[in-house]
């Protein structure tokens, strides 16, 4: 189920022109989730639009986020889908936090 949802999330983000979508398998590194999906938007408006569209499309399949963080600022929005956590950043925030590098280095 998680693998199917990961693919669905990636497709939804791609359909709205999210940039540099990356899936990170973290299930052997932590207990907080199985996957991170990281994507970028071109502006805070685009980041919010990506988050809104993702939430709307997944609700059609009765998939709801447990929690959403960062929507007010729109520079980094986190959507928690239990075993999949989606991070949508502006490009500058993504570079600043560099989550891919952090999790890729963890063994």
Q: What CATH number has the domain bearing residue 6?
A: 3.30.460.10
Q: Looking at the 3D structure of the chain, how many domains does it have?
A: 1
According to the model, what pLDDT value does residue 1 have? 63
| Cα torsion 59, 1, 51, 19: sign | negative
**Which secondary structure element, helix H or strand E, spans residue 79, and what is its range?**
strand 76-81
Residue 36's domain comprises 2-105
According to the model, what pLDDT value does residue 5 have? 95
Q: Look at the block and give the residue holding tokens 């949508």.
A: 88
Instruction: Say if residue 106's pLDDT is above 70.
Output: no
Q: What mean pLDDT comes out for the span 80-95?
A: 95
The encoded tokens of residue 20 equal: 């540099």
**Cβ-proximal residues to 9 (8 Å cutoff; 6+ apart), any chain:** 37, 54, 58, 81, 84, 86
pTM confidence score: 0.93
According to the model, what pLDDT value does residue 3 have? 84
Please tell me the number of Cα atoms within 13 Å of 43 on its side-chain side: 2
Q: Name which of 22, 38, 25 is nearest 90 in CA terms.
A: 38
Confidence of residue 105 (pLDDT cuts 50, 70, 90): low
Instruction: Say if residue 107's pLDDT is above 70.
Output: no
């Amino acid at each position: 189920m998680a693998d199917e949802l990961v693919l669905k999330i990636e497709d939804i983000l791609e359909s709205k022109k999210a940039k540099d979508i990356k899936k990170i398998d973290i299930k052997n590194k932590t207990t907080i989730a199985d996957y991170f999906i990281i994507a970028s938007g071109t502006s805070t408006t685009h980041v919010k639009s990506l988050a809104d569209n993702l939430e709307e499309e997944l609700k059609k399949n009765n998939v709801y986020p447990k929690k959403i963080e960062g929507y007010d600022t729109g520079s980094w929005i986190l959507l928690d889908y239990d075993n999949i956590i989606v991070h949508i950043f502006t490009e500058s925030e993504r570079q600043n936090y560099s989550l891919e590098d952090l999790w890729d280095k963890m063994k």
